[in-house]
Structure 1
Amino acid sequence: MDLHQLFVFTKVVEHKSFSKAAEDIFLSQSTVSSHIQTLERTLNVSLFDRVGRENILTPSGERLYQWALKLLLLKDQAMLDLKKGVTELRGIIRIGASSVPGQFMIPKMVKQFRTQYPKATFHINQSSSKNVADKVLNGSVDFGILGEKYENEKLCYIPLLKESLVLITSHHSDIVGSVDIHELLKYPFIMRNADSGTNSLIEKFLTKNQISKDQMNIVAYTESGQSLIQFVLQDIGIAIISEMAAREYYDRNLLRIHDINGFDNERFFYLVYNQNKTQSMLSKLFIESAHELIKPISPDEIK
């Protein structure tokens, strides 16, 4: 049993597929299968039950997976200690990201991180905040960056950045200045999907003002923040979005930004990780340096 075999084994576990693991680490599927078979012969155990097209971990496979993660982390730590300089540390970091962090935060953080660790490769999976939290829980990503907290005893949150939500309209809209939420009920509205952090905050504000979504004139739901902005630019409806996302279009004079009276619309973007997941050295370093990669916030700002 060698460390490379264990590395290949962890990739098969994470992808739940021999072919996807092979594609990820640039090996042939037959080579991946050979490594797993060698491990099974060496340990004299079955690591996977082949049920139809799925490869399901056996109890022995589950135990080996936890040991493999610890051994691979120990290897990275040894390399870090021996090299003194960390520029040769290499590997893949998988990040789940909701819409705004995926577009506006993570590229800057990756750029900063790679100045010190140029051999790091990133796989970014962008989806709703709820899906990001689920991916962190099931281990398909190393950690996530999202705009809403979903409480679970396994999840640990690090506040990274505070920002506001704003109302956006096209230049054709008759809305002027700040507005009351009740005034907006007559306007066609574009909404993010139910699992987005933005949508969650909007629904809380509506409930606070005793407004049901049935009272709103919602003309479209969209998974994409960029798609939502295009709906507004085409004057199909109005929307509430991240100020960070709106600012680029506002600065180019493509849309208008409005405040909503009484809308306590500040929120945080968080880095979230699963405390039960053994992180690779690179992922661990990214998590630990997250505050240095993005503008930090003071503790007294955290809600």
Structure 2
Amino acid sequence: MDNKLKIFKSVAHHSSFTKAAEQLFISQPAISKAIRNLEDEYNTTFFIRNRNSIELTEDGKSFLVYVKRILDVYEEIENQFIHKDNQLPDIITFGASTTLASYIIPKIIAKFRTQYPKTSFQIESDNSEHIENLILNQQLNFGVTEGKNSNPKLSFKKLIKDEIVLVTSAKNNKINKENISLKKLQEIQIIKRESGSGTREIIQETLQKHNINSLNIAVTLNSTEAIKNYLYYSDAYALLSIHAVREDLINNKLKIIDVKGFSVERWFYFVSRTGYKSNMMDYFEKFILKNYNF
């Protein structure tokens, strides 16, 4: 029964049989059959099948509430009896904000799998706001995000410290010194992240502390990689995580410009729903804390 409920939850989450099949690594016909069996069992229709999409019926929306509660109980049982001695599941699924998913999490997972090669990972990557909403909606159980949300329904634990630095192309000679003033920071062309980005939010908070309401924004892009690729071919600047630009600094593709009297430090947080407990989640969190040393 729990497998059929997991299938239902995935289909409801993605509004797609195809995407649910990809997530769960089973065939689309198997997904369709499981949903049909559930609908027959409860003598109702959970999904409206449109030509190019599906959506939950009112019964489907009600059923999803119960499914989430039931699957939470199943997980508690597994944590209590199956994973009580840190026996790991076949697949660990969690969320990670884009900076973490691109530059930090892959190294941690690679190290984890050298010790536990039978454990696979499925990672949902998006900006911090989106990942935290997925956790709130029980579509994910935990994640790692940038910045600290004050939502009392979420629990945040400090994980890894980060610094935001001003960078530009190593070929940019418009500023022939290694530091600039806060006034100059407001004049240069800045490339920034999209709304909902944890990086963008922490930068905005720090700017406001220095009574800076806005910067000279040239372009807004939705990923750090896109911003870096823009910088390689321009004389613009961006405020990015030091973790994201480390290789670029080593390879002399980008350089850091210090801003006098201005520094942006933050933490990456391990996030879960308040009150949610999982031995596996606790073990993975401890593994990150113990092994993150690069």
* TM-score, scaled relative to structure 1: 0.80
Residues in 2 aligned to 1:61 and 1:104: alpha-carbon distance in whole angstroms: 35
Q: Contact conserved, 1:22 with 1:32, CA < 8 A, in 2?
A: yes
Cα offsets for 1:28-77 (capped at 9, x unmatched)? 444334334444555x5648254852124353552244123322542465
In the other structure, the counterpart of 1:97 is: 97
Q: Which of 66, 70, 73 does residue 67 from structure 1 map onto?
A: 70
TM-fit CA distance, 1:247: 2.2
Show the 5 A alignment for 1:122-201: 122-170=121-169, 171-173=171-173, 174-201=175-202
| AA matched with 1:108 | K
Q: Contact conserved, 1:91 with 1:282, CA < 8 A, in 2?
A: no
Residues in 2 aligned to 1:205 and 1:69: alpha-carbon distance in whole angstroms: 38
Q: Contact conserved, 1:12 with 1:21, CA < 8 A, in 2?
A: yes
Q: Contact conserved, 1:155 with 1:275, CA < 8 A, in 2?
A: yes
Residues in 1 aligned to 2:216 and 2:86: alpha-carbon distance in whole angstroms: 58
SS of residue paired to 2:7: helix
Decide which moves more: 17-26 or 223-232.
Answer: 17-26
In the other structure, the counterpart of 1:227 is: 226
Q: Contact conserved, 2:11 with 2:20, CA < 8 A, in 1?
A: yes
Residues in 2 aligned to 1:72 and 1:204: alpha-carbon distance in whole angstroms: 38
Residues in 2 aligned to 1:13 and 1:68: alpha-carbon distance in whole angstroms: 14
Residues in 1 aligned to 2:64 and 2:198: alpha-carbon distance in whole angstroms: 36
Residues 45, 85 of structure 1: alpha-carbon distance in 2 compared, 3 angstrom cutoff = same
Residues in 2 aligned to 1:187 and 1:64: alpha-carbon distance in whole angstroms: 52
Residues in 2 aligned to 1:293 and 1:12: alpha-carbon distance in whole angstroms: 35
In the other structure, the counterpart of 2:289 is: 291
SS of residue paired to 2:256: strand
Cα offsets for 1:53-105 (capped at 9, x unmatched)? 21243535522441233225424653446xx6836x31241323232x11221
Residues 241, 3 of structure 1: alpha-carbon distance in 2 compared, 3 angstrom cutoff = closer
Q: Contact conserved, 2:9 with 2:64, CA < 8 A, in 1?
A: no
TM-fit CA distance, 1:222: 0.9
Cα offsets for 1:215-257 (capped at 9, x unmatched)? x332111111112122222233111111222221111122221
1:207 aligns with 2:205: no
SS of residue paired to 1:27: coil
In the other structure, the counterpart of 1:243 is: 242
Cα offsets for 1:143-168 (capped at 9, x unmatched)? 22222112211111111111212111
Residues 118, 46 of structure 1: alpha-carbon distance in 2 compared, 3 angstrom cutoff = farther
SS of residue paired to 1:157: strand
| AA matched with 1:184 | L
Residues in 2 aligned to 1:18 and 1:26: alpha-carbon distance in whole angstroms: 12
Residues in 1 aligned to 2:118 and 2:204: alpha-carbon distance in whole angstroms: 42
Q: Contact conserved, 1:178 with 1:260, CA < 8 A, in 2?
A: yes
In the other structure, the counterpart of 2:260 is: 261
Residues in 2 aligned to 1:247 and 1:58: alpha-carbon distance in whole angstroms: 46
Residues in 1 aligned to 2:265 and 2:163: alpha-carbon distance in whole angstroms: 4
| AA matched with 2:268 | F
Residues in 2 aligned to 1:229 and 1:65: alpha-carbon distance in whole angstroms: 40
Q: Contact conserved, 1:160 with 1:268, CA < 8 A, in 2?
A: yes
SS of residue paired to 1:118: coil
Q: Contact conserved, 2:153 with 2:274, CA < 8 A, in 1?
A: yes
Residues in 2 aligned to 1:278 and 1:20: alpha-carbon distance in whole angstroms: 28
Pairwise CA RMSD: 3.0
**Count of residue correspondences:** 287
Residues in 1 aligned to 2:147 and 2:15: alpha-carbon distance in whole angstroms: 28
TM-fit CA distance, 1:293: 4.0
Residues 64, 45 of structure 1: alpha-carbon distance in 2 compared, 3 angstrom cutoff = farther
TM-fit CA distance, 1:182: 0.6
Residues in 1 aligned to 2:253 and 2:273: alpha-carbon distance in whole angstroms: 40
